[in-house]
């Protein structure tokens, strides 16, 4: 979030999650964060995320597709796979085979 705040002015972060209660608790005191409603259809959330100016994506297919459909800048956490774990066998170092080359990785 700091990267986006430094790069752009007047940002609003929109969070889509299957754990809305947790997100609201974690971001309750941050004025530039909005959490989408818990009962909105997944297609509406996807459309909302895809129409935003930019994305900070999470690991997973939902975040990946929202980022892929979003025309803006996508930022993602590079070190999502712990080296030496069974999951790491399925990804190149830093997950570069999982992300579009124009997306920005942060550690």
Q: What is the pLDDT of residues 31-43, one digit of tens each?
A: 999 998 888 888 9
- Structural domain tally of the chain? 1
User: CA-to-CA distance for 1 and 5, rounded, in angstroms?
Assistant: 6
Domain span at 56: 1-105
% the chain with pLDDT above 90: 40
Q: What is the pLDDT of residue 95?
A: 65
- The distance from CA 74 to its chain's CA centroid, rounded to whole angstroms, is 8
Task: Tell me the C-alpha distance between 77 and 81, whole Å.
Answer: 10
**Model confidence band, residue 21 (pLDDT cutoffs 50, 70, 90):** very high
- Confidence at residue 52, expressed as pLDDT on a 0 to 100 scale: 92
Confidence of residue 82 (pLDDT cuts 50, 70, 90): confident
pLDDT value of residue 4: 87
State the pLDDT at residue 72. 92
Question: What's the pLDDT at 74?
Answer: 93
**Averaged pLDDT score across all residues of the chain:** 87
- Can you state the angle between helices 61-69 and 42-50, rounded to 10 degrees? 40
């Amino acid at each position: 979030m700091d990267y986006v705040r430094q790069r752009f002015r007047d940002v609003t972060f929109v969070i889509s999650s299957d754990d809305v209660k947790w997100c609201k608790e974690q971001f309750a005191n941050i004025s530039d964060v909005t959490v989408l409603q818990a009962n909105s259809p997944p297609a509406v959330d996807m459309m909302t995320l895809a129409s935003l100016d930019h994305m900070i994506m999470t690991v997973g297919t939902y975040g990946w597709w929202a980022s892929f459909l979003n025309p803006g800048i996508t930022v993602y956490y590079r070190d999502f796979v712990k080296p030496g774990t069974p999951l790491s066998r399925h990804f190149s170092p830093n997950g570069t085979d999982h992300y579009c080359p124009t997306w920005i990785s942060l550690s």
